[in-house]
Amino acid sequence: MAELKVGFIGTGVMGAPMARNVLRAGFPVTVHNRTRSRAEPLLNEGASWAASPAELAAGCNIVVTCVSDTPDVRAVVLGPSGVIEGASRGATVIDMSTVSPTATREIAERLEAAGVDMLDAPVSGGQKGAIEGALSIMVGGKPEVLARCRPVLDAMGKTIVHCGGHGQGQMVKLCNQIAIAGNLLAAAEALTFARKAGLDLATVIEAVGAGAAGSWALNVLGPRMAARDFAPGFMVKLQLKDLRLVMQEASELGVPLAGAAIAQQLFTAIQAEGAGDEGTQAIVRAVEKLAGL
């Protein structure tokens, strides 16, 4: 098999540490980013620069995209000077952004027609997981393409799960976001009830978190809710972007999601406060506000 030459498009909060781990694992890495200055640290560590997605794709057989939203992926892959203009037949695009599963299937088809494979491979684990190479990676696409790309994904993640065909990695990521949103809502409601009842929140989390009521949201973010620490692990505005994708897809699938919808509205209330850059635990403030706190 030919050497894996890896390109990274998008060297932001997630993309930069992911590219760094691939570089450190010994793969040649080329990067492209809308704002070149944000890629400088990687260039200093040995990555090469490409002036456009097309130029990057011309020199790589694996192109990782890690951008913000569906239109961004579409633009860097299919747009002018996009990946599709430079990529050789037999190359693979791995989209690690969280974007629309439906759009993912369309992009995969367009690439396939050009002889380019695609994997959707959204991640969970946040910036911490990206830095530590400990992400969970949810992969959609052909198993043999995943097998070929696995050494690169291994450099970025600890758990790599094949979820099905094109778009199914994105679908599992949306399941993840539905569960997170609901668990956050549950934790926020339990702790707001507790606060109004005059209970000590640390005691409640201790008494409740270890058993059948436990969740990552309650056990990890609950103490931050109690401490009024709203620094972002994962930002409200990104949770809202993901819930928009959830609701679009749920609407197409015909799945009413009453719980996730309520969480979405409460996150919207936090965003309306101008606090979209805060962590998702800020949802507790919306529940408190409704309770007159």
Residue positions annotated with a catalytic role: 173
When asked if residue 146 is in the footprint of its own copies (CB under 8 A), the reply is: no
Largest interatomic CA distance in the chain = 65
When asked if residue 191 is in the footprint of its own copies (CB under 8 A), the reply is: yes
> Residues 22-61 vs its own copies: string with x where CB under 8 A?
----------------------------------------
Q: Which is nearer to its own copies, 42 or 204 (CB)?
A: 204
When asked if residue 228 is in the footprint of its own copies (CB under 8 A), the reply is: no
Cα 195 from Cα 178, distance rounded (Å): 26
Q: Which of 8, 6, 57, 5 minimizes the C-alpha distance to 32?
A: 8
Cα 279 from Cα 230, distance rounded (Å): 5
When asked if residue 121 is in the footprint of its own copies (CB under 8 A), the reply is: no
Size of the site for its own copies (CB under 8 A): 72
Stretch that binds its own copies, among 14-22, 24-32, 112-120, 194-202 (CB under 8 A): 194-202
Q: What φ, ψ does residue 242 adopt, rounded to 5°?
A: -65, -35
C-alpha dihedral over 182, 100, 241, 41, to 10 degrees?
120
Stretch that binds its own copies, among 9-17, 24-32, 165-173, 267-275 (CB under 8 A): 165-173
Site residues for its own copies, 234-293, by CB under 8 A, read 234, 246, 249-250, 253-260, 262-263, 287, 290-292
Question: Which amino acid type is present at position 103?
Answer: A
Q: Which is nearer to its own copies, 114 or 261 (CB)?
A: 261
96, 18 Cβ separation under 8 angstroms: yes
Put residue 169 in one of left, alpha, beta given phi > 0 → left and psi -120 to 50 → alpha: alpha
Q: Which is nearer to its own copies, 92 or 170 (CB)?
A: 170
